[in-house]
Structure 1
Amino acid sequence: MLNISIRQMHTLLAIQKHGKISAAAKSLGLTSPAVTLQLQQLEQELGCQLFLRSKSGAQPTEIGEIAIQTARRIVNEVTSLGETVQAHKGVAAGTIRLGVVSTGKYFAPRVIAAFTALHPGIAMTLVAANRSEIIQKLHDHDIDIALMGRPPTSFRVNATLFGDHPLVFIASPDHPLVGKLDISREELAEQKFIVRERGSGTRSSFEFFMADTIEGMRTVPTEMDSNETIKQAVIAGLGIAFISGHTIEQECQAGRIAILDVVETPIRRQWFAIRHANRSATPALQALDDFLRVRGPSLLPVMSKPYQAMLPVQT
């Protein structure tokens, strides 16, 4: 049996995260020689080199990558054990690393505020990125739970549905298509478009919706990497955009953005709370899961009345 310590696992993860022994040592509150010794002892125990070390930093070897993935699982399980023991003692405590896709940052703070008001002993950190980046962080166990749309299919997950996610086409209030009913995809293809970057879930939904007409677009879409930039571009009259309805609450209410009446829209997607299937459900994670199932829908942004009238009726 291998004689490996949790401290060595933490050292391994710190070196991978920071890329250099000195930076890893600083993050761990140790000296560089102490971290180097920990790594050497681990490599001797495994009988393999885990990092290729150079002046530019430490890069994991193939075995190193496997060891890093294993270390993440071990550290997560030990953390889960500690939280479970605390919960058994009646102590409501724990830590949750929450990841959200870019659109989720418009409501994630109110989710955190409402949840921690009920569970003040649970600490939360928030990471926002595009869909592909959040999926990678979830896969690598860099986050505990992700709020996003379609669950990933490249690895096993546990997903909890907690609300609807409508996607709409928007334009500046003085755009010629504003007020027109039943706008077709062909009419949209004649317009200038502003789109999210590749890797974004909204971009994928846009390309799927426009699949039959996207090649016939009059102009090449302008790509922007944030919802805020896209909204400002639309307000400035640079084109129309396809965007999450949850990102435009204030602009619609202020009359700065109009929603277009495009056939078969709003497109209704869902929000899920997603956890890696290999990640044990700690009491803290289970509490968040239960909270989102019950309170999640009420914490999503509320749209203006004209917007609500466009939403399909649920049956």
Structure 2
Amino acid sequence: MMFDQKANTLLTLVQEGSFTKAAQALSLSQPAVSHQIRQLEEEFGIQIFHKDRKELRPTPAGAVLIKYARRALAVYNNARQAIEDSRSNLRRFTVAITPTVAESLVPQTLAYYCMENSDAHINIMTDTIKNIYDKLKSFETDLAIVEGKPDDSSLTSVLLDTDFLCLAVSPQHPFSKRASVPLMELKKEKFIMRSRPGNTRVLFERYLENNGETLRSFNVMMEIDNVATIKELVSRNLGVTVIARSACLEELRTGRLAVVPIENSSMIREINLVFHRDFSHPEVLDEIRRIYSSF
């Protein structure tokens, strides 16, 4: 099985952003790159890029071709890797996780799995939920561990854990001694929140909407995409946050954070293993669930 050279040229062109840079990256002449792109356009009967701008902007049909070229490259690379692994009796797969899941017991679970299975090699990548689903569908990742369930019928999910969002504060914060906190009291606090489109942020905003509120009514002084940074700032009593309880178990154990329920809140979410129906290592799913549940 060969990956079409023209498709490789197309993907390099998209990555580099210009014909000149793509030619340099491929050690080809610029006319040769242009010729391969024209061949693709003739083969599929489409125009891949808009002609009215200097920047490379794919047409709708061009975007479809680029998507499938990425998928074809991923399948080709997976086939090569699988053949190489079969020669060395190695099981290799890529697991994509969201930033919040990255702060939970999931990385530790995967590390224990590798320790118990010397023939396994796991590549962990962290990304947004949207990008993770895109990479799953293009076969750029084998397995995802994310909050919620996918809407795509081509993907299958298995429950790993049930989690919930709560208020996290410094042990020095007055709320740390409370059994719960009313939502209205939180309007006086300085929030450090996950950036959109993080699932934690979306779930909290949905809870506010169900209670006739919006995040604009609260003092969000910072938005950060890094969960570890948010926890560090909150532990120093520089603000409060809403976070998944599973993402701060270590900080709770060491006393660096305190979590407090928000009164009458029900921000429950599932953590799921998501994969294609033809995922080649189904036994891995049971092992991951077994190890995770042992903590």
Q: Tell me the equivalent position of 2:285.
A: 289
Q: CA deviation at 1:208?
A: 2.5
1:211-237: per-residue Cα shift (whole Å, max 9, x none)?
315349864323422222322332333
Residue deviations 1:225-272 (CA, integer Å, cap 9, x gap): 222232233233333211122332333233222111433568442211
Question: Do the aligned residues in 2 keep the contact of 1:162 with 1:273 (CA within 8 Å)?
Answer: yes
In the alignment, does 2:66 pair up with 1:68? Answer: yes
Residue 307 of structure 1: aligned partner: none
Matched residue, 1:199: 197
Aligned amino acid, residue 198 of structure 2: S
Alignment of 1:20-59 (within 5 A): 20-21=18-19, 23-24=21-22, 30-33=27-30, 35-52=33-50, 57-59=55-57
Q: Distance in 2 between matches of 1:76 and 1:202?
A: 30
Task: Tell me, in whole angstroms, the C-alpha distance in 2 between the residues paired with 1:122 and 1:6.
Answer: 30
Structure 1 counterpart of 2:291, which letter? R
Q: Is the 8 A contact 1:11 1:24 kept in 2?
A: yes
SS of the aligned residue for 2:251 comes to helix
Inter-partner Cα distance in structure 1 for 2:163 and 2:261: 17
- 8 Å CA contact retained: 1:164, 1:270: yes
In 1: Cα distance, 2:36 partner to 2:121 partner = 29
- Distance (Å, rounded) in 1 between the aligned partners of 2:20 and 2:212: 54
Residue 97 (1) aligns with residue 102 (2): no
Counterparts of residues 101-250 of structure 1 (less than 5 Å): 101-106=98-103, 107-117=105-115, 123-153=121-151, 156-211=154-209, 212=211, 214-215=213-214, 219-225=218-224, 226-250=226-250
Q: CA deviation at 1:68?
A: 1.8
More displaced, 16-25 or 227-236? 16-25
The answer on whether the counterparts of 1:159 and 1:272 sit within 8 Å (CA) in structure 2 is yes
The within-5 A match list for 1:81-92 is 92=89
One-letter amino acid of the counterpart of residue 262, structure 2? V
Query: Counterpart of 1:229 in 2: which secondary structure?
Result: helix
Q: Residues 215 and 110 (structure 1 numbering): CA distance in 2 closer, same or farther, change over 3 Å?
A: closer
Could you tell me how far 1:194 is from its partner in structure 2?
Answer: 2.5
Which runs of no fewer than 5 residues in structure 1 stay unpaired? Answer: 303-315
Tell me: CA distance 1:154–1:26, structure 2 relative to 1, closer, same or farther (3 Å).
farther
CA RMSD of aligned residues (A): 3.6
Contact 1:130/1:199, CA 8 A, preserved across alignment: yes
Alpha-carbon distance between aligned partners in 1 of 2:215 and 2:156, rounded to the nearest angstrom: 39
Aligned to 1:153, what secondary structure does the other structure show?
A: coil
- Residues 160-213 of structure 1 show CA distances to partners (whole Å, capped at 9, x for unaligned) of 222233322111222222222243333334433322112111111212233315
Structure 2 CA distance for aligned equivalents of residues 138 and 103 of structure 1: 18
Q: Deviations over 1:257-310 (max 9, x none)?
A: 211143356844221122356xx42x25x3543432333334xxx6xxxxxxxx
1:68-107 Cα offsets, whole Å, 9 max, x none, are 22223434444565667778x7864465333211112224
Q: Matches of 1:24 and 1:205 in 2, distance apart?
A: 42
Question: How far, CA to CA, are the matches of 1:258 and 1:241 in structure 2?
Answer: 11
Contact 1:182/1:261 (CA < 8 Å) preserved in 2? yes
Aligned pair in 2 of structure 1 residues 129, 43: CA closer, same or farther (>3 Å)?
A: same
User: Deviations for 1:23-75, whole angstroms, at most 9, x for unmatched residues?
Assistant: 54566x54355544433332332233323479965332222112122223434
2:93 partner amino acid: I
Structure 2: gaps (5+ residues): none
Query: Structure 1's 131 and 124: CA in aligned 2 closer, same or farther, altered over 3 A?
Result: same
Matched residue SS, 2:96? strand
d(CA) in 1 for partners of 2:44, 2:217: 59
- Answer yes or no: is the 8 Å Cα contact 2:165–2:243 preserved in 1: yes
Distance in 1 (alpha carbons) for counterparts of 2:194 and 2:47: 41
Q: Is the 8 A contact 1:21 1:32 kept in 2?
A: no
Q: CA 1:181–1:15 in structure 2 vs 1: closer, same or farther (change >3 Å)?
A: same
SS of 2:177's partner is: coil
Give the corresponding residue for 1:311. none
SS in 1 for 2:173: coil
Given that residues 172 and 236 in structure 1 are in contact (C-alpha distance below 8 angstroms), is that contact kept between their aligned partners in structure 2?
yes
The TM-score normalised by the length of structure 1 is 0.73
The aligned length equals: 290
